[in-house]
Structure 1
Amino acid sequence: MAVLQFELEVTDERSKARTGTITTDHGKIETPIFMPVGTVGSVKAVSQQQLKQDVQAQIILGNTYHLYLRPGLDVFEQAGGLHKFNGWDRPILTDSGGYQVFSLASSRKITEEGVVFQSHIDGSRHLFTPERVMDIQRSIGADIIMAFDECPPYPSDYAYAKKSMELTHRWLDRCFRHFNNTPDKYGYTQNLFPIIQGSTFADLRKASSEFVASQNAAGNAIGGLSVGEPDNMMYEFTESCCDLLPANKPRYLMGVGTPWNILECIALGVDMFDCVMPTRNGRNAMLFTSKGVINIDNKKWEKDFTPLDDGIDCEVSNYYNKAYLRHLMKAKEILGLTIASVHNLAFYLWLVKEARKHIQQGDFLSWKNEMVPVLQQRL
């Protein structure tokens, strides 16, 4: 068992983009990396075999709130953790439930102790405290577990954002205290990442970044962005946070985003990304491709027998044609959801792999500047 290691390899001379390798007890992760979101222990409509072979995912996410409610911790304890339960033998990250505190605003109450919320499944009431969230994530068994935080909405007024950030910092102290006093489970090391908050206020972001950096954690996360603020604001605060975080630790920007968001944030020094967008948008007929964005529902694809995307390394994207996928979507055939989801995830993983290649070659910035407008165009 070894604590997560991060080897910083190449830093781009013309931007802040960088490549590295994260080593966990369940394997290595080459950065920059995109992490498919497996909310309830599965990436929606995509099998673990497809994640490995077609998507080439190196790490996936699980959601603490959802997995705690169903199937429940006793199932994980008996199975030997989420890896054994779902058959995924590569790294897993679990979020802390902090985002659900944000998204379930109508059915929760925040206090100093923690958050009381109502289950969306049966209405039962539950209390998440920083200590409880550490225990829950230990039981689920992720390689990387996230600190319990409050994600303020956008826009927030300054007083609320400051109060929220200070609460997140006090909770972080409690997370680390409890985490350091409890053992790893299942025979491998679990690593705690703290989360920067502070909404869209420069002084709060600076204070939170410095507080998080001072924890000397195995890695660090930037939270509370991509919650409705304009892209340029997201980039501004991503850059300012990255500049204050240690260079020798991985930086994780939570919940971001579109392919162009990801490229722009790689250029600012981010190493790790996650987002539901590739699978959620795929299930709703939006395909991200190396040539631009496709709404496969549109009639223009009805007799287009060209591959979904022959510009990326994915058998599914190269094998199935646009007309066939459109037909499956129109017919509400489940296979259509799987093809679209696998394709979008494979595209995202291809994109970060290409970014890594261009950082290593030394031409990342010019490549990124060419790619962004291509990726944004509607086909």
Structure 2
Amino acid sequence: MKRIELPLGLLFSNTGPYGKVAHTLLNGARLACAEINADPESGVTFHPIHIDPKGILQNYAPAVQSLFDRGIHHVCGCYTSSSRKEVIPLFEKHDALLWYPTHYEGFESSTNVIYTGAAPNHHMSPLIDFLCSRFGRRAYCVGSNYIWGWESNRVMREGLQKRHGEILAERYLAVGETDLEDIISEIFETEPDFVFNAMIGESSYAFFRAFRKACEARGIDQAKRFPIASCNLSEPELRAIGPESADGQISSSVYFSSLKSPRNAQFVAAYSKLFRDGPVVSAEAEAAYIAVHILAKTVAQTGTTKVSEVLKAVAGQAFDAPQGRVMIDPHSFHAALTPRIGLSRSDFEFDVLVEAPEPVAPDPYLVSSASEYEVASRRANVRIVS
């Protein structure tokens, strides 16, 4: 079998303020490339080229342009929404394809982007349902001062309003900011039922540590009285938070490394063997892994790397991922994924509390009157794991 040679750009900031989690994205893509290149039946050989923008927004567009100048028109990359929005106009101008493997806030569609990370109905909608049913409807929201934080808090606000809840306060910090004293004091003053954390990187890690310490100083069990919920908390970040504060935190995701299945065990073992120095596997790593495998499968089927042909063929493309079956929706080019809610442990893993029984179709604009997760709940189909 003649193999198709495919240069692949990898655009991930594995250094900088959110380098820990972005490094797992890079590793997930590299693992997929290694598996595909080693498979004699794949029909594709990847030649990955990595560029590290170092978490500096102004570095992304020149990095993408440099890849295009080298004839590369398929790029797996970006962690933050700001970086994604920074480069999409270039992908549209050059008729190239961005494989975006990160959970995001939704409300976007581009025919030059394939979204393999979670859409808001995969993580935000299930989380709001879970929090309201378990803890209450009064939230304190804190986020990093950019698109992900703003939009995530907006979705939380609108979701709570539909459920007759309220946002007691909404605060933002610059990415990398760790001065949290005023925010922590305000949480104690407002006494919310839960805290929604939409910060990223070092800001988020510092918040978990500082708030747990402040609660302990007041004799408060933070996890029970002021549960912190996130849509972007993963296993590598638990290690960055540290053992004193990593347990008892709520995360809404489509993948946790603790999932019990032969396919996931195979994935985790392969990842751990290839990347012995870490960071450990995460939902982001799995999403990048999915993106590269679906790209390879589509190129092998079409016999070409031409973007227009790949776009036609990727619609409806399916892959048996570590999280379960994944399929690219032909209308939105987002992936159908399986929502889950996890609770972190002191060993830096998650216990899965709730999961949907099957993949949920993406709804990036939240146009449905009720989330897929809510409909499943009403039909008693959602499986309570623990």
TM-score after normalising by structure 1: 0.30
TM-score after normalising by structure 2: 0.30
